[in-house]
Structure 1
Amino acid sequence: MRKSILNYLVLVLIICVLIVGSFTSNKTITENDFSENDLAFNTVETTETSSESDHYLPLEKAYKPFSPTLGKSFVGFKEALGFKESRGDYFTVNTFGYLGKYQFGKETLKLIGIYNPVHFLKNPEMQEKAFLANAERNKWILRKDIKRFNGKTINGVLITESGILAAAHLAGPGNVKKYLRSYGEQGFTDAYGTSIEYYIKKFSGYDTSKVKSNRKAKVKLTA
């Protein structure tokens, strides 16, 4: 009798084990089954039309990359001007012999202390220093005109300090003086058809306060 009861209990136990095992293997794994540290995927919001497989995406696809904007900062100013001049290419020479990212002429380089254009073309750091030195020199030459015309309009174009400095980079400060003091009657267009007025408008409103007026601005060459 005892043997029959024992056999019965063993049979019941086996059946229970089989039932529990079957339930566990069919259980649906949900997001709550993982801790924050164990999650291998990142959840994203889905729409009603998204499929179930879209619920989980690899980490590198779940977030859009952050790209800072330069806006109207001084860095934004020089990068926008460099892109317009050469698409930001430090090592280019155009058909008229203008050099580098900011397309400097050899005579302009001499004015700011650079006499080796080959070395200049190979040196991005020197080109950045040259841009600032040239802007400082132009700002000193045009200091009275900046004070007089900043905020005014000529031919429907708002005049700003950054626009004046950009135009001076294109045409030289002397030509910008003539343009401003003639209220746009004496213009200038470079060999590619780009005008002072176009640069004043395109590069309007940037913060160029970092550019200090400096009559003797030079690039300090390192040994």
Structure 2
Amino acid sequence: MKKNIVGLFTVLIVTALFFSGFTTKNNVDLSSYILDDVEMNYNVPNEEDMIMYTKPVPTTNYTLFLGKSYVGFKEALGFKESRGDYSIINEFGYLGKYQFASATLRMIGIYNPDSFINDSRLQEEAFTAYTARNKWILRRDIKRFNGKYINGVKVTESGILAAAHLAGAGNVKKYLRSGGAIGFSDAFGTSIGYYLKKFSGYDTSFILPNRKAKVAKIAKVL
């Protein structure tokens, strides 16, 4: 009988402890888990912030001002001749940025048109050499007519050199010495008078007159 009482008492104790475990779970003290020393602040961008972040960064456009410099002269003439295209060959066979004839290229030491059309540096050297030749041929006319007016157009050294590139130095001589009576126009109808006016007033003192000017030897090989 005593054994039954002890056993029953043991079961009651275990049962009480078992159920007390479930009831105390709802009253667990979580104070030890609070992180008082940790910053828990987060900033989330709003719609206006997102628009600001996605706006493209403005870029600044720079324009190189060449003015009436020699480089400005070259670029203006190259643009008129071909819109600055080194690779162009027009319907009459004129080549490159400055629209050279093959015969003119041979005169200044370039014998391979294929190499010429694919070499921008060679084209720039060709322009310098040819302009130096024309300046030597027209040196007396530049001195004589610079600052004078022909057909209402003021004659300048740069205008004369540009006209010589268009029509050849010989035709420019005829035009100047005839007071504009003997004219010349190319296949597109562009006249000496037009080039005298359009390319007036540039600084072409960089070019020295040279009767035998040719491109550098290294340029001919390329």
TM-score (norm 1): 0.73
Counterpart of 1:113 in structure 2 is 109
Root mean square deviation of aligned Cα? 2.4
Cα separation, partners in 2 of 1:209 and 1:60, compared to 1, 3 Å: farther
2:203 corresponds in structure 1 to: 207
Task: Measure, in 2, the Cα distance between the counterparts of 1:174 and 1:58.
Answer: 61
2:92 counterpart of 1:65: no
What corresponds to 1:154 in structure 2?
150
Q: Name the % identity.
A: 66
Q: Distance in 1 between matches of 2:79 and 2:137?
A: 25
How far 1:57 moved relative to its partner? 10
Match of 1:40 in 2: none
1:116 shift after superposition: 1.1
Match of 2:175 in 1: 179
Residue from 87, 94, 99 that aligns with 1:91: 87
CA distance in 2, matches of 1:97, 1:73: 30
Aligned counterpart, 1:79: 75
User: Which gives a bigger RCO, structure 1 or 2 (Cα 8 Å, sep 6+)?
Assistant: 2
Q: Partners in 1 of 2:184 and 2:204 — Cα distance?
A: 23
Which string of whole-angstrom CA distances, capped at 9 and with x for unpartnered residues, describes residues 73-117 of structure 1?
Answer: 100000010000001110110010000000000111111111111
For residues 59 and 197 of structure 1, do their structure 2 counterparts lie closer, same or farther at Cα, with a shift above 3 Å needed? same
5+ residue gaps, structure 1: 1-24, 26-52
State the shift of 1:65 in Å: 2.0
Aligned to 2:126: 130
Task: Report the AA paired with residue 88 of structure 1.
Answer: G
Superposed CA deviations along residues 129-175 of structure 1, whole A, max 9, x for unmatched, are 00000000000000000000000000000000000000000000000
What is the CA–CA distance in structure 1 between the aligned matches of 2:160 and 2:72, rounded to whole Å? 16
Given the superposition, is the C-alpha separation of residues 64 and 182 from structure 1 closer, same or farther in structure 2, using an over 3 Å criterion? same
Q: Distance in 1 between matches of 2:151 and 2:54?
A: 54
Q: Deviations over 1:31-71 (max 9, x none)?
A: xxxxxxxxxxxxxxxxxxxxxx99x996842x642212111
Pairs aligned (count): 175
TM-score by length of 2: 0.73
Structure 2 gap ranges (5+)? 1-42, 44-50
User: What SS is found at the alignment partner of 1:66?
Assistant: coil
Q: Secondary structure at the match of 1:147?
A: helix
Partner amino acid, structure 1, of 2:84? G
Match of 1:221 in 2: 217
